[in-house]
């Protein structure tokens, strides 16, 4: 079984996940832009039971009606999040894997709020969609 490791910038907050992600999504919404400090965010989704090890302390930030983010209290890297949803799913920051074998995005969302120079990988579904409130 494939084991994938994700870590914050300083390495204090680490996750080990088993198996392949259920979805990899690139998002151009302004919330993801602000969360990542980049032009889009990439979330790698897993089932909670795929999280087999967690190391280090985390601080949380809850965006009401949306998501609870967990980030490293030392370096501030956003690493793990849970949606305020009935579906049991967790999101992990794509760049935190620092692994070129990680699958690329299966879709690109909220492109209507994306920067015009950001293009989606060829052959994946693109959803302009309304930006989150």
Chain segment 31-90, per-residue pLDDT in tens: 889 989 999 999 999 999 999 999 999 999 998 888 899 999 999 999 999 988 878 999
Q: Provide the token pair at 121.
A: 């990988």
Query: Half-sphere exposure (CA, 13 Å, Cβ side) for 110?
Result: 19
Q: Are 106 and 42 in contact (CB under 8 A)?
A: no
pTM of the model: 0.90
- Span 3-127: which CATH code? 3.90.1590.10
Chain segment 85-100, per-residue pLDDT in tens: 878 999 999 999 999 9
The pLDDT of residue 80: 97
The pLDDT of residue 84: 83
Sorted by where each begins, the domain ranges of the chain are 3-127
């Amino acid at each position: 079984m494939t084991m994938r490791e994700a870590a914050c910038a300083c390495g204090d907050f680490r996750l080990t996940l088993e198996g392949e992600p259920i979805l990899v999504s690139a998002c151009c919404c302004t919330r993801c832009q602000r969360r990542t400090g980049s032009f889009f965010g990439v979330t790698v989704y897993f089932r909670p039971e795929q999280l087999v090890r967690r190391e280090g302390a985390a601080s949380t930030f809850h965006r009401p009606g949306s998501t609870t983010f967990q980030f490293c209290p030392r370096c501030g890297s956003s690493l793990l999040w849970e949606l305020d949803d009935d579906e049991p799913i967790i999101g992990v920051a794509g760049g935190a894997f620092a692994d070129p074998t990680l699958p690329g995005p299966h879709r690109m969302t909220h492109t209507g709020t994306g920067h015009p120079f950001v293009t989606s990988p060829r052959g994946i579904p693109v959803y302009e969609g309304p930006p989150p409130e």
